[in-house]
Structure 1
């Protein structure tokens, strides 16, 4: 994220972000609508690049489809593996409610949780960002 800083005549600093960076910031703060916009933008860019015959990310079509359907990479990974929230939460040693908050964007994965989910589901850890 490369913000632009503008100083007004009164000396107030204003920060200008791209819409993508702004949505990413809001999503990290738990704004579900911003997370939905970011997810939709990622899926659209991937599918457009694939349709144009261009190079796409190393994310396979089936994961993009699950991501588009469920909106959360953690939910997509869990659905791919065929486990319930309760099962995955137990493996992560967290409550089902905590996992639900992660899937809804209200909480964020720790690095350890990201790698545990990746190991369990066979999904690349960087797909869960």
Structure 2
């Protein structure tokens, strides 16, 4: 891809002695877009590295879509992890009945309970809140 010719800048000096570059607005917008694209590329690169290092994981769309549609994130993550409610409850040190009520939205767990569930699922609290 050929590089676009950069427009010539006009330089002015303010009354306080600051030297400013004046460029056409279209050139300014092009520079902003280039910076945003570079930031996006760096973010993707960093994510790929975290994924390669095992610090990130991918969830299939079928599971992510269920969360997006409003299904209990705890239930979806539990099923993604191929755990039964009893297994998760035991690992989180709560009753299976209480976990079931949380998954159905009938009860809210305390922050400590949610933290235990997240730890048992090996995810962050943000992933289920």
Could you tell me the TM-score, scaled by structure 1's length?
A: 0.46
Q: Higher relative contact order at CA 8 Å, sep ≥6: structure 1 or structure 2?
A: 1
User: Which structure's CA Rg is the greater one?
Assistant: 2
